[in-house]
Structure formats: C-alpha cells, structure tokens
C-alpha cells in the first residue's frame, strides 16, 4: 500500500520555553485574581443594594470561575 507524504507528523512540535513559562505563570494568577474580582463585585453590590450576603456569593462565584479557568488551561496545556 503506498504511503502519502502529506501525513501529519505523529510527534508534537516543541513549544518555546517562554511560552510554556507564561502559560504556567498564568495558572498562579488566575485563581487569586478571579477570587478577588468576585469578592469586589459582591462587595460593591452589597453597598449598592444594602445587603450583606452578596459579598459571600461573589466570593464563591469568583472561586468557581477561577477553578474552571485553571482546569481548562491545565487541560489545554496537557494536550
């Protein structure tokens, strides 16, 4: 059976070390940044709406968003 020369390579090309370092550094900042942003939005809504529970809800949503992005980035880097 003849083989085609247009077959994709079976090995994954190596990415630049600086690109990898940037991706892994992103993982260190995503979760804390998302947590702080969620907390700040919740605190602002608490002040605006005169409530006391939106700050906690914003914190939980921020943590969840940070974890989702962290997992998504880690899975994309492992492929």
Rounded mean pLDDT for each run of 10 residues along the chain, 79 residues in total: 60 74 86 95 96 96 95 82
Long-range contacts of 33-40 (CB under 8 A, 24+ apart): 33/66, 34/62, 34/63, 34/65, 34/66, 34/69, 35/59, 35/62, 35/63, 35/66, 36/62, 37/62, 38/62, 38/63, 38/65, 38/66
- The pLDDT score that the predictor gives to residue 17 is 87
Residue ranges per structural domain of the chain? 26-78
- The pLDDT score that the predictor gives to residue 27 is 83
């Amino acid at each position: 059976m003849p083989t085609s020369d247009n077959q994709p390579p079976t090995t994954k090309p190596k990415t630049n070390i600086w690109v990898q370092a940037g991706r892994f550094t992103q993982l260190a900042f995503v979760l804390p940044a998302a947590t702080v942003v969620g907390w700040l939005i919740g605190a602002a809504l608490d002040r605006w709406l005169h409530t006391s529970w939106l700050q906690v809800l914003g914190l939980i949503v921020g943590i969840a968003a940070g974890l989702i992005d962290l997992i998504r980035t880690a899975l994309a880097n492992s492929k």
